[in-house]
Structure 1
Amino acid sequence: MLELMNVNKAYAEGRKVLTGLSYTLEAGEYVAIMGESGVGKSTLLNLIAGLDTPDSGEIRINGVAISSLDDDAATRLRREQFGFIFQAFHVLPHLTVSQNIALPLLLNGAPTERVTQMLADVGLHDRGHHFPRQLSGGELQRVAIARALVHRPKLVLADEPTGNLDPDTAHEILQLMRTEIKANGATGILVTHSHAAAATADRVLDLTKDGLHPAKPGERV
């Protein structure tokens, strides 16, 4: 499903953040990535999402190199098959909660009946008609999560998705993410500093300057 092939990326000032990174994730795999601040976890997600480009190397989705796609094809791939949960909510302020969650379905020409179920799943069943300005940070995070999952994407990318949630809600959301990923045979990548969040994934990887490695209990950051 997802192949990272000798991916290299440096920041604008020249500092290398990812060097020779290679890894393969199959459909149905759900992994958590941990690592020190600044090691490149969010950068890696942006590269996989096609929101940034590697300096060299290749990222393939189902055998297709993202870099080989023109703008229209890359946009279509993200719209149809990707679900993004990033630290910045990117909830549109002029749309209601329900309209925000429905966006992926509308863009893909799909029915919107699933919005009601997703509202209930993230504990916002009575907030669908409200606007983002009327919601707390934790509620906005739940809107972003529901929007990312509503169209049953094949690749879920989550960057600290529970950072604004209380522990009980975070646990419920993480279980929902896992259930959706498994039910849809998707590939899931969770970037987190939380050991409790990482424990919900199939396995945990540490991102270091030497690449991605299976985390050992005594070595997790």
Structure 2
Amino acid sequence: MTPLEARGLHRFYRRGDTEIAALRDVSLTCAAGESTAVTGPSGSGKSTLLSLLAGLDDPDGGAVHVAGHRLSHRGPAAAARLRASHIGVLTQASGLFGHLSVEENVVLAASLGRTGGPAPADLIDGLGLTTVRRSLPRTLSGGETARAGLAVALAGSPTVLLADEPTAEVSRDEETTILDLLDAWRPRDGAAVIVTHSPAVATHADRILHLVDGRLT
């Protein structure tokens, strides 16, 4: 089973009378156990690509398959079910509910995903969040927020981990910690795709793809 496959993705936007190509014929296959970094300048289409891979947006051409299931061009409910079962998303905004503690956020995410993954308590301890497990997100440091967001992304035992600038808000030392945790906890029989501007993050991946003007180079 191929964890993640995207074929011939095109995505266009309109700005007034002008049509803008955000992605042009982008294809990507991620093997089991592989981590892939996607780099490129601002405006190159990285965020658009991540949205399509997560099933949060549909391409104008091509399709995304996750764990053998077509994710693109499904109804919102069907796409949400596939996303909950197979995809963990780590964003700069952390994905944490502000009114829930770290532990409550992780437990909620685990309840929505697949069974058989790490227990919430193991994730919390393994990611160094034991002392802040009952804390609200607004009280966390940048590094703690990044680790809590990673715990939430991994809680549902995802086939694919998608990360958007996972170390953007942390120090250099904390970046190293996050990268080590990503490597230790990412899906072993799945795949990870990391969008980043950081050379350290990119070189930590198994392979690096460059996105320029909506095309992979």
Fold match (TM-score > 0.5): yes
Q: Identify if the C-alpha distance between structure 1 residues 121 and 80 changes in structure 2 by more than 3 Å, giving closer, same or farther.
A: same
Tell me the alpha carbon deviations over residues 150-193 of structure 1, each in whole angstroms, 9 at most, x when there is no partner: 232110000000111222222122122122225x3111101111
Structure 2 distance, partners of 1:211, 1:89, is 28
CA-based RMSD:
2.1
1:50, 1:210 → 2: CA distance? 18
Residue 61 (structure 1) aligned with residue 92 (structure 2):
no
3-state secondary structure, aligned to 1:89: coil
Matches of 2:65 and 2:12, distance apart in 1: 20
The aligned residue for residue 7 of structure 2 is: 5
Where do 5+ consecutive residues of structure 1 fail to align?
Answer: 214-221
Letter matched to residue 114 of structure 1: A
- Corresponding letter in the other structure for 2:79: A
Amino acid at match of 2:9: V
> Does the alignment pair 1:152 with 2:154?
no
Cα gap change, 1:64 to 1:139, in 2 (>3 Å) = same
Instruction: Report the more deviating stretch, 46-55 or 60-69.
Output: 60-69
Cα distance, 1:110 vs. partner?
4.6
**Are the structure 2 counterparts of residues 206 and 146 from structure 1 closer, same or farther at C-alpha, using a change threshold of 3 Å?**
same
Contact residue 117 and residue 156 of structure 2 kept, 8 A = no
Work out the number of aligned pairs and report it: 212
Partners of 2:114 and 2:158 lie apart in 1 by 14
% of aligned pairs identical?
Answer: 37
2:178 and 2:142 mapped to 1: Cα distance? 15
Cα offset for 1:90?
Answer: 2.5
Structure 1 residues 113 and 20 mapped into 2: Cα distance closer, same or farther (>3 Å)? Answer: closer
- Per the alignment, do residues 26 and 111 of structure 1 end up closer, same or farther by CA in structure 2, a change over 3 Å counting? closer
Q: 1:41 aligns with which of 38, 46, 54?
A: 46
The 1-side partners of 2:34 and 2:127 are apart by: 23
Q: Which residue of 2 is the match for residue 193 of structure 1?
A: 197
| Runs ≥4 residues deviating over 4 A | 109-113
Match of residue 120 from structure 2: 115
**Aligned match of 2:171:** 166
Cα separation, 2, equivalents of 1:99 and 1:206: 37
* Aligned counterpart in structure 1 of residue 100 of structure 2, from 95, 103, 109: 95
Does the Cα contact within 8 Å between 1:7 and 1:58 map onto a contact in 2? yes
Q: 2:147 corresponds to which residue? A: 142
Q: Give 1:109 shift.
A: 7.5
Structure 2 equivalent of residue 216 of structure 1: none
Deviates more, 1:44-53 or 1:10-19: 10-19
Cα distance in 1 for partners of 2:65, 2:116 equals 29
Shift of 1:112: 9.4
CA–CA separation in structure 1 for the residues paired with 2:45 and 2:128: 32
The farther-off stretch of 188-197 and 201-210 is 201-210
Contact 2:23 2:213 in 1 (8 A): yes
For the 8 Å contact 1:22–1:211, the answer to whether it is kept is no
What residue identity is the alignment partner of 2:148? V
Give the secondary-structure state (helix, strand or coil) at the position aligned to 2:162.
strand
**Cα distance change of structure 1 residues 40 and 105 upon mapping to structure 2, 3 Å threshold:** same
